[in-house]
Structure 1
Amino acid sequence: MKPTIQSWNKQAEFVENASHELRTPLTIIQNKLELMLTTPHEKIANKFENIALSLSETRRLSKLTTDLLTLARADSSETQLEKKVVHVDSFVKRVCSPYIEIAESQEKHFWLNLNSTHTINADETRLHQLLVILLDNALKYTSEHDSIGVKTYEEDHKVILEISDTGIGIKEKNIPFIFDRFYREDKARTRESGGIGLGLSIAKWIVSAHDGSIKVSSNENGGTTFKIKLPM
């Protein structure tokens, strides 16, 4: 009976958190639209700021609902992986290509050290999503002149992917919780950067669905490294 109660409590907490996250952008959009309706004859150029903010919150809402749907399907085992042969280094290089340009535009150093010669059976779409989540985080929490790197190699019949950065890092006391849904180390900072605390939960699910593992090592103000192991 106890596991059932724990499962119910966990589900109730998830619904409560999801409702809160959905309510925030909806409230902002509603307020901005109502404000614009109070001045119907005003030129559209004068409403640009309200329109831009509403559009930004709409995009955030769209991403949130997509993430929630991904986790809901994962919980119900509805999502089926479409595995195929993936050449790890070629795939990683392709995914990282636009991030190299973004990093350069932000005066950050992006490096690749690709040393895997094997292929893996993986869902390429989900693997792409995994890397995007980790690379987005690396860009968010690094500053000018910081470094972001991706490394691949092989160890104990597994392919290893390491995504590291020299950014602000994670407090040691918070590391055990970073894969929890809706967990945010600094809620104010994370919301400002567009985060909602679901990305790493999705990342962990993707890795687990591939019979792999993901671990993080980090020091506050000393950077972060995510280490992913995937079976060959």
Structure 2
Amino acid sequence: MDALTHASHELIDKSVDYITLPEELYDIERRFNELKSESIKNERLARENEQKKDELIVYLAHDIKTPLTSMIGYLSLLDEIKDMPDIQREKYINVALDKSYSLEDLINELFEVARYNSEKIILEKEDLDIRLMLEQIIDDFYPVLVEQEKNIHLNQDEDITLYGDADKLSRVFSNVIKNAISYSKDHTDINIDVHSMHDDAIIEVINKGKEIPKEKLNRIFENFYRLDSARTSRTGGSGLGLAIAKEIVELHHGSIFASSNKEETVFTTTLPKN
């Protein structure tokens, strides 16, 4: 008992690398060291995530200045030059509007990062129609699709009802579809195929874009992992969207994974219907 009491204190003692118990307590010793190793690993990951979070907030704060400065510049010109030609005025208004959308994206990212780890995901389940949910999400992306001259085709031959959290699952597919739009080639279509398999619903979001290397496919669902290192409004997200999507899907006892080749990239989500 004394040995176990001492070992329990060593579990949280950072100066102790390995816990040793009498030979007859070998199984307990092994389990204690597994717990200690897991604790050290989790602590290291938490520190790394926190560091990435802090760095991302700094980047976002810096990036916000760029569209804001541009907006102020163009709006000031519109205010100062009262007799500006209509064509030039329309151009300046369009530029200022485009910069305001970029600013909105960056601010939303900043809120998402700041909110990370401060909210616990609690599901409020209800019966929901997959087709209706996806159609509403697609409608939300209409302005972006028009701008990039892309289309989304929803292919679903049967009515499928899920028992899940409508708001949270909408967040999942908004993130996945946004990702598909961002990384698809110009003037290409995005397909969403929905079908049943036994007691599950399968939702595949397919886009034609650059192949994602296998080593990156294994990491895209990690917190703060960004496929592109360059920060752009189209592809430079916070790196939380897919990580949150995976967490929500797994809370529904489902799964999500990605596959990619030279022709297309597919995000496959499997969710139990009941």
Question: Smaller-chain TM-score range?
Answer: 0.7 to 0.9
Cα distance per residue 1:82-134 (max 9 Å; x no partner)? 22111223333343356578657755453222145442222212222222222
The residue number in structure 2 matching 1:172 is: 214
Q: How far, CA to CA, are the matches of 2:68 and 2:148 in structure 1?
A: 33
Q: How far, CA to CA, are the matches of 1:96 and 1:42 in structure 2?
A: 40
| Conserved 8 A contact 1:162-1:226 | yes
| Conserved 8 A contact 1:28-1:57 | no
Deviation larger for 64-73 or 95-104: 95-104
Cα distance per residue 1:185-232 (max 9 Å; x no partner)? 3323x615253233222222221232221000012x421100001122
Unaligned runs of 5+ in 1: none
SS in 1 for 2:185: coil
The residue number in structure 1 matching 2:173 is: 131
Amino acid at match of 2:258: V
User: Are residues 200 and 15 of structure 1, via their aligned partners in 2, closer, same or farther at CA, if it must alter by over 3 Å?
Assistant: same
Q: How far, CA to CA, are the matches of 2:136 and 2:72 in structure 1?
A: 44
Note if 1:13 corresponds to 2:52.
Answer: yes
Q: How far, CA to CA, are the matches of 2:71 and 2:156 in structure 1?
A: 49
Out of 55, 68, 80, which is 2:100 matched to?
Answer: 55
Root-mean-square deviation over aligned CA pairs: 3.6
| Conserved 8 A contact 2:150-2:187 | yes
User: Are residues 181 and 19 of structure 1, via their aligned partners in 2, closer, same or farther at CA, if it must alter by over 3 Å?
Assistant: farther
The residue number in structure 2 matching 1:191 is: 232
User: Are residues 87 and 173 of structure 1, via their aligned partners in 2, closer, same or farther at CA, if it must alter by over 3 Å?
Assistant: same
Deviation larger for 124-133 or 51-60: 51-60
Q: How far, CA to CA, are the matches of 2:264 and 2:215 in structure 1?
A: 15
Listed as ranges, the matches of 1:63-212 within 5 Å are 63-73=108-118, 76-77=119-120, 79-97=121-139, 103=145, 106-188=148-230, 191-193=232-234, 195-196=236-237, 197-212=239-254
SS in 2 for 1:177: coil
What TM-score results when the alignment is normalised by the length of structure 1?
Answer: 0.77
Q: How far, CA to CA, are the matches of 1:203 and 1:34 in structure 2?
A: 36
How many residues align structurally? 226
User: Are residues 105 and 212 of structure 1, via their aligned partners in 2, closer, same or farther at CA, if it must alter by over 3 Å?
Assistant: same
The residue number in structure 2 matching 1:43 is: 81
Amino acid at match of 1:88: I
User: Are residues 54 and 212 of structure 1, via their aligned partners in 2, closer, same or farther at CA, if it must alter by over 3 Å?
Assistant: same
Alpha-carbon offset, residue 161 of structure 1: 0.8
Amino acid at match of 2:54: V
Larger Rg, first or second structure (1 or 2): 2
Alpha-carbon offset, residue 139 of structure 1: 2.0
Which structure carries more relative contact order (alpha carbon 8 Å, separation 6+)? Answer: 1
The residue number in structure 2 matching 1:225 is: 266
Alpha-carbon offset, residue 65 of structure 1: 2.6
User: Are residues 21 and 181 of structure 1, via their aligned partners in 2, closer, same or farther at CA, if it must alter by over 3 Å?
Assistant: farther
User: Are residues 10 and 133 of structure 1, via their aligned partners in 2, closer, same or farther at CA, if it must alter by over 3 Å?
Assistant: closer
| Conserved 8 A contact 1:88-1:116 | no
SS in 2 for 1:187: coil
Alpha-carbon offset, residue 165 of structure 1: 1.3
| Conserved 8 A contact 2:151-2:188 | yes
Amino acid at match of 1:23: H
Q: How far, CA to CA, are the matches of 1:35 and 1:94 in structure 2?
A: 36
